[in-house]
Amino acid sequence: MPYMKMTHAIDPKKAILDEIEDLSTFELFNNKILLATYKRPEKTKSGIILTDNNRSEDTFQSKVGLLIKIGPSAFEENAEGWFAGEKFELGDWIVHRPSDGWSINVHGVDCRILADTQVQGRAVDPDEVW
């Protein structure tokens, strides 16, 4: 079954980065990462309109976020080879369990702080994940 492709008036990555602006004074410690929560737009490519109530659940149930800040020891390889050489970059769409991490609001943007070990995967397109 194909995934629900959304209609984006503006690239979601650009929209998040424009809204959150400068994060230079926001610090993360140890192996923590900051993800901006992906929120679906109102309309799918096939024309289905999502209700505001349905879309508001993305704040709590979204399983993908944009990697916007990385703590100083995040994604460092350990003796067990936890990341198996995987490299994560700012701007990656990160997949996580909705129950993981700590929900916060940074510069007016809903975000989540997670430990690097809570990353479950990476998506090219945030619409792939629900």
Residue 103 belongs to a domain with what CATH number?
2.30.33.40
Cβ(43)–Cβ(7) below 8 Å:
yes
DSSP 7-51: P-SS-HHHHHHHHH---TT----TTEEEEEEP---SBBTT-PBPP
Q: Look at residue 50 in the predicted model and tell me its pLDDT.
A: 62
What's the total number of domains in the chain?
A: 1
d(CA 113, CA 101): 5
Is 1 inside any structural domain?
Answer: no
3-state secondary structure of 112: strand
Is 2 inside any structural domain?
Answer: no
Is 100 inside any structural domain?
Answer: yes
Is 63 inside any structural domain?
Answer: yes
pLDDT digits (tens, 9 = 90+) for 15-33: 999 999 999 999 999 999 9
Taking the model in full, what pTM does it have?
0.86
Least confident residue range of 9-18, 29-38, 49-58, 72-81: 49-58
Burial class, 57, CB count within 10 angstroms (exposed 0-12 / middle 13-18 / buried 19+) = middle
Is 111 inside any structural domain?
Answer: yes
16: phi then psi, degrees, rounded to nearest 5: -65, -50
| Averaged pLDDT for residues 93-106 | 95
pLDDT digits (tens, 9 = 90+) for 38-48: 886 665 666 66
Is 6 inside any structural domain?
Answer: no
d(CA 3, CA 69): 28
State which residues form the domain around 101: 12-21+29-128
Is 112 inside any structural domain?
Answer: yes
pLDDT digits (tens, 9 = 90+) for 68-98: 999 999 998 776 777 888 899 999 999 999 9
Is 115 inside any structural domain?
Answer: yes
